[in-house]
Amino acid sequence: MENGKEFLHNYIKKHGLKKSAQRDKILDIFLSVGGHLSVDNLTEIVKEKHPEIGYSTIYRSLYLMQKAGIAERVELGDGITRYENMLGNKRHYHFVCQQCGKLIEFYDPLIESKIKISAAEADFSIERYRLDAFGVCSECRKKNNHSPKTKNSEG
Amino acid sequence: MENGKEFLHNYIKKHGLKKSAQRDKILDIFLSVGGHLSVDNLTEIVKEKHPEIGYSTIYRSLYLMQKAGIAERVELGDGITRYENMLGNKRHYHFVCQQCGKLIEFYDPLIESKIKISAAEADFSIERYRLDAFGVCSECRKKNNHSPKTKNSEG
DNA sequence: CTCATTGCAAAGCCTTTGCATGGAG
DNA sequence: CTCCATGCAAAGGCTTTGCAATGAG
- DSSP annotation string for A65-104: HHHTTSEEEEE-SSS-EEEEE-TT----EEEEETTT--EE
Query: Can you give the pLDDT at residue B151?
Result: 45
CATH number for position B52: 1.10.10.10
Query: What total number of domains does chain B contain?
Result: 2
Question: Which one of A85, A102, A133 terminates a domain?
Answer: A85
| Statement to judge: residues A11 and A79 lie in one domain | yes
Residue B148's pLDDT is: 60
Q: How many CB atoms lie within 10 A of CB B123?
A: 13
pLDDT at B143 over 50: yes
The answer as to whether B150 is a domain residue is no
B154 within a domain of the structure (yes/no): no
A153 compared with B141, residue with greater pLDDT: B141
From A112's Cα to the closest Cα of chain B, the distance in A is: 9
Residue B124 lies in a domain: yes
- B124 lies within 8 A of chain A by CB: yes
pLDDT in tens, A72-107: 999 998 889 999 999 988 999 999 999 999 999 999
Tell whether B19 is covered by a domain. yes
Q: Is residue A14 part of a domain?
A: yes
Looking at the complex, does the CB of residue B132 fall below 8 Å from at least one CB of chain A? yes
Name the band, by pLDDT with cuts 50, 70 and 90, for residue B89. confident
Q: Is the C-beta atom of A136 closer than 7 angstroms to strand D?
A: no
Rounded (10°) CA dihedral B137, B142, B148, B152: 30
* Same domain, residue pair A78 and A109: no
Please say if the pLDDT value at position B120 is more than 70. Answer: yes
Residue B34 scores a pLDDT above 70: yes
B50, pLDDT greater than 90: yes
- List Cβ neighbours of B109 (8 Å cut-off, separation of 6 or more): none
Low-confidence winner among A129-133, B35-39, B147-151 (lowest mean pLDDT): B147-151
Domain assignment present for A151: no
pTM surpassing 0.95?
A: no
Band of pLDDT at residue A37, cut at 50, 70 and 90: very high
Cα dihedral sign, B54-B55-B56-B58: positive
**Structural domain of residue A43, as residue ranges?**
4-85
Say if residue A9 is in the same domain as residue A77: yes
Q: Which of A38, A61, A85 is the last residue of a domain?
A: A85
